[in-house]
Amino acid sequence: MATKIPVPIIDLFAGPGGLGEGFTSVVDKSGNRAFRIALSIERNEFAHKTLTLRSFLRQFPYKKLPDEYYQIVRGELNDVEDLYRLYPKQAEAAKHEAWKFSLGDPKDHEQIDKRIKESLKGEKNFVLIGGPPCQAYSLVGRARRQEKEGLNKEDERVYLYREYYRILAVHQPAVFIMENVKGLLSSKVENESVFNQLLNDLKNPVESYRKLHGKRKIPQSKYRYKIYSLVRKYKAINLFEQGFEPSDFIIRTEEYGIPQTRHRVILLGIREDIKAEPEILEPAARLISVADVLKGLPPLRSGLSKQKDGKQEWKMAIESIKVSGLKNEVDKDIWNEMVKTAENLSLPRKDRGNNFVPAEVDVDYLPKWYVDDKLKGVANHETRSHIKEDLWRYLFVACFGKLRGRSPKLSEFPALLLPKHRNAKSGDFANRFKAQLWNEPSKTITSHISKDGHYFIHPDPGQCRSLTVREAARIQTFPDNYFFCGPRTEQFHQVGNAVPPLLAKLIAENVKNLF
């Protein structure tokens, strides 16, 4: 197909910009970007700030960021607006590109369509990307809401994907990428599969929109979309005749060089007038482990909450496990490992870290992707505070993982370390505490990491803590110079909700070949 390079992108429900980062990281032999973000839309205040800052950086040549940006990250300049004032042209472009707006309300359709049309500047062959909010489909969320008979059709989040296919119907991009949780595949409303409905809507967006809303301002288009899996090869127009299974659309990210077992539904759609077909993704040569991406970061200690916090107080709190009465409740080898760790605690030179930590930083896996030498340290690398009893739990879980190669179930916890929760023994919290293991990919980084770190315990027992934002971002494959704005809870939320940029880059390379 004939189109201008770089190919424009419209990014819906953009979050902090993981999908967009992957697409705009694809360059040609001259180092020029193959894609450009024409418009990204996100409603969350802090994710939008992160998105705008990254949009600002994309106004400069690839990997040639202004020196003042590093000063902002290092805290040498006080306010990002100071940076924007230094580069008003680039700042204006970024603020136009990253739009803080909430999708889904029909009264806003005209405004949204106008903004998209202006951003595309007449280009018809663009790429639509995005992942409608997935809380309604999440397996964990559905279990928590006890939706055994199906989703609540009154929950507006169930049908936010309709805004996605409405934009397909109105603007007819050449290609689209839609991402969502695998719980989408088993979601039902009134015993009807949400996923099958979604496939039909995405294949026939104009027809589906007219059925739902009647004759609105929708083009008289004959175009439909062919839907492809990125992990199974088949003729897209005959899915059901070829033994298609919904699971064919699940990408198991650990199989493609992402250091976590994140399993997500990703659909690739191509407008039917375009004859090109995508290739499937090539599996990585090996699994990428937690150690591959975390071992180059400065070690830190956890903080202490509900009592005085300090290096010696932290050390004493962990050492006090020796007189806790746990000895006779824990397997001998694990107890010995816990005691040895407590007695040999070292106080990290960087203490608890900070929003920026000056340090020499390294990584074993893809250093050119992760590390930016001009940064001279690591951003968003600060630990949480935990009560003393949680420090003991983290020590137990990390030592258990080190020796057993897995995390203990709550039924394997000594009684003294069981959470003081009336449902602790019910089975609902069987995997509440989980250490990541050095030699394996991480478990999925989710937005729940913003609430507590129990499921994301650092593999090093001597650090006795949950992951930092930067460690979670490394596992999510964000480059080290990707700075997350807002309070730490909001930073965690952004990282957990994002699409891994490195996975997005693999998908973008595939899409580039279609053009």
**pLDDT tens per residue, range 416-436:** 999 876 555 555 556 689 999
Residues contacting residue 103 through CB under 8 Å, at least 6 positions apart:
12, 13, 41, 43, 112, 160, 163
Where exactly are the structural domains of the chain? 124-285, 290-497
Looking at residue 210, its pLDDT comes to 80
**DSSP code at position 377:** E
Looking at residue 510, its pLDDT comes to 96
Q: pTM surpassing 0.85?
A: yes
Task: Classify 290-497 by CATH class.
Answer: alpha beta
Q: Which two tokens stand for residue 186?
A: 């088993």
**CA pair distance 223, 204, nearest whole angstrom:** 8
Average pLDDT over residues 329-339: 96
Residue 461 predicted with pLDDT over 60: yes
Average pLDDT over residues 488-495: 97
Residue 139 predicted with pLDDT over 50: no
Give exposure, 316-338, as e/b (b: 16+ Cβ within 10 Å). Answer: ebbeebeeeebeeebeeebbebb
Q: Is the CATH number of domain 124-285 3.40.50?
A: yes
Band of the pLDDT at 213, cuts 50, 70, 90? low
Residues in the chain: 515
Least confident of 11-25, 94-108, 145-159, 305-319: 145-159
**DSSP code at position 296:** T
Looking at residue 141, its pLDDT comes to 47
**CA pair distance 215, 514, nearest whole angstrom:** 33
Looking at residue 216, its pLDDT comes to 57
**CA pair distance 241, 118, nearest whole angstrom:** 41
Q: How far is CA 421 from CA 417, 424, 426, 435, 455, in A?
A: 11, 5, 10, 20, 16
pLDDT tens track for 218-274 = 666 678 999 999 998 876 555 556 667 889 999 999 999 999 999 999 999 999 999
Looking at residue 136, its pLDDT comes to 44
Cα torsion 447, 503, 366, 39: sign: negative
